[in-house]
Amino acid sequence: MADLKLTNVEKTYGGTVNVLNNINLDVKRGELIVFVGPSGCGKSTLLRMIAGLESITGGTLEIDGEEVNNVPPAQRGIAMVFQSYALYPHMTVRENMSFALKLAKKPQAEIDAAIDKAAKILQLDPYLDRLPKALSGGQRQRVAIGRSIVRDPKVYLFDEPLSNLDAGLRVATRIEIAQLKESMPDSTMIYVTHDQVEAMTLASRIVVLANKGIAQVGTPLELYERPENEFVAQFIGSPSMNLLPGKITGTGAQTTVTLNDGGIAVSAVPTQDADMGLEVNVGVRPEDFVPTDGTPIFSGKVNFSEALGEVTLLYFETSGLTPAVIAKLPGIHANTRGQQMSLSADPAKVQIFAGGKSLYYR
C-alpha cells in the first residue's frame, strides 16, 4: 500500500475554465479518505485525476514519493470502483474477478489464490460460479470491489459506489465496506460520496471540497465539533447548523454575544479575535438546542413540527432569518405547533463565526 501526496494541484478545461485550484493533501498509508462536497465541487474530477483518467493541469501528484503526473493509469498501481458495477454479464463471478489478471498473463495458481482470498474477505465464496444476473445489487457491488482487490493495488479509489443501491442495501454495503477496511488495515483508500452518513461512518479523515478548493480536512468528529468556517459547519450535519446574527458584547475568559433578537449566547472558549462590537454569526446545531426556563439563546413560536419517533424537528418562525431556525429534540414532543418556546445550549458547543470563518479554529 502507498502514501499519496497532492501539491498545488489544479484542473482547468480549455485553458479558461478552472474547476480545481491549489489542492494540497497528504494521504497516509492505511487511511480511508473521503471526499465530500456539493454537486459540481470537483470531487469526482479530483478522484479521476488521481486515477490518471483526467490530466493534471498544474501541480504534482506523488505516489510513494514518485511523481506520476504523466504515468499512464495502468501503471499507477491504482484500482477504481465506479458507481455502476460494469460486470461482464456473460461471465461468472470468478471469471469477472479474474479477467484483469488473465489479461496480465498471471499464472493460474496465482489467479486462483487471489480470487479465493478476495472471495473470503467479501463473503462471495458461495457465488463464484453464478452470473451477475443471479446476484443482488449489493452482491454485484462486492464483485466489483473484489475485482479491485485481486489486483493488489497501491491505492483503492471508490467513486460513489453505493449511489445505485436502494436505502436498505446502501446501509448493508456500507457496513461491508467498513468491515473490508478493517480486514485490510494497511490498504489506502480514497472514497467519493455525496452522502454525509457514508463520510462520517467510513472515513479516517474527510476532505470537504468547495469553491474550487479544500474547505477543511479533518476527522469526522473534528469537522462536526470544530468547523473552521460556516460552509463546513452547515454542510456537515443534518439538519444544518443554525446561524443566528449578533454582536460581541463581552470578551476575556469567555466571549459573550448578544443576538440581534435579544438572546444571549456565551462561549466558554477564549479567543483573542473577539473584538467588542464585532458582527458575528452564532452557530448552534439543531440537536444541541434544549428547552429552557432560564436565559435563552433563541426564543420563537413553533411554525411546523416533524415527529420522527426517536426525535422531533421543530421549525420556528423567524423574522429576516433564512432558513428557519430548527431544533432537533429527542423523543416525541406532541402539540408544539403554535407554541412559544425558549431554547438554550451548552456554551462549549456554541460556535462563533466572523466573516464566514470560525473565531476559534483556523
Q: Grid coordinates in use for 123?
A: 463473503
Q: Grid coordinates in use for 231?
A: 460552509
Q: How confident is the model at residue 130 (pLDDT cuts 50, 70, 90)?
A: very high
Question: How large is the angle between the packed helices 137-149 and 167-183, nearest 10 degrees?
Answer: 30
Contact 266, 293 (CB under 8 A): no
pTM score, two decimals? 0.89
Contact 234, 223 (CB under 8 A): no
Which tens digit of pLDDT belongs to each residue from 18-67? 999 999 999 999 999 999 999 889 999 999 999 999 999 999 999 999 99
Average of pLDDT values for 231-245? 93
Q: How confident is the model at residue 361 (pLDDT cuts 50, 70, 90)?
A: low
Contact 350, 248 (CB under 8 A): no
Q: Is the pLDDT of residue 321 over 70?
A: no
Q: Grid coordinates in use for 271?
A: 479567543
Q: In a 3-state reduction of DSSP, which class is residue 131?
A: coil
How do 58-63 and 4-13 pair as beta strands? antiparallel
Q: Is the pLDDT of residue 128 over 70?
A: yes
Which tens digit of pLDDT belongs to each residue from 60-113? 999 999 999 999 998 998 988 887 778 889 999 999 999 988 888 889 999 999
Going by C-alpha positions, the residue among 33, 79, 323, 340 that lies closest to residue 205 is 33
C-alpha 105: how far from chain center = 38
Q: Is the dihedral of CA 342, 230, 32, 48 positive or negative?
A: positive
d(CA 10, CA 181): 30
d(CA 126, CA 287): 44
Residue 1 pLDDT: 60
Contact 216, 227 (CB under 8 A): yes
Contact 274, 352 (CB under 8 A): yes
Q: Is the pLDDT of residue 267 over 90?
A: no
Contact 305, 313 (CB under 8 A): yes
Contact 175, 183 (CB under 8 A): no
- Domains parsed from the chain with CATH numbers: 4-233 (3.40.50.300), 239-358 (2.40.50.140)
Q: Is the pLDDT of residue 229 over 60?
A: yes
Average of pLDDT values for 287-305? 90
The answer to whether the bond into 227 is cis (omega within 30° of 0) is no
Q: Tell the burial category of 58 from Cβ atoms under 10 Å away from its Cβ (0-12, 13-18, 19+).
A: middle
**Mean pLDDT in the chain?**
89
Residue 327 pLDDT: 95
Q: How confident is the model at residue 360 (pLDDT cuts 50, 70, 90)?
A: confident
Q: How confident is the model at residue 218 (pLDDT cuts 50, 70, 90)?
A: very high
Q: Is the pLDDT of residue 362 over 50?
A: no
- In degrees and rounded to multiples of 5, residue 202 shows phi and psi of -100, -30
Q: In a 3-state reduction of DSSP, which class is residue 254?
A: coil
Q: In a 3-state reduction of DSSP, which class is residue 257?
A: strand
Q: Grid coordinates in use for 275?
A: 473584538
Question: In terms of pLDDT, which residue wins out, 252 or 106?
Answer: 106
Q: Which position has the grid cell 474477478?
A: 97
Residue 271 pLDDT: 66
Buried b / exposed e across 19-43, counting CB within 10 Å, b at 16+?
bbbebebebeebbbbbbbbeeebbb
Q: Is the pLDDT of residue 296 over 50?
A: yes
Q: Name every residue whose Cβ is closer than 8 Å to that of residue 361 and which is 6 or more positions away in sequence.
A: 226, 227, 228
Q: Is the dihedral of CA 54, 6, 212, 33 positive or negative?
A: positive
Q: Is the pLDDT of residue 259 over 80?
A: yes
Which tens digit of pLDDT belongs to each residue from 169-210? 788 888 888 888 888 888 899 999 988 889 999 999 999 999
d(CA 311, CA 236): 19
Which tens digit of pLDDT belongs to each residue from 137-170? 888 888 988 888 888 888 999 998 888 777 777 8
Which DSSP string do the residues of 186-225 spell out, in sequence order? T-EEEEE-S-HHHHHHH-SEEEEEETTEEEEEE-HHHHHH
Q: For 64-212, list the strands marked E by DSSP.
A: 66-67, 78-81, 155-159, 188-192, 205-210
Residue 189 pLDDT: 93
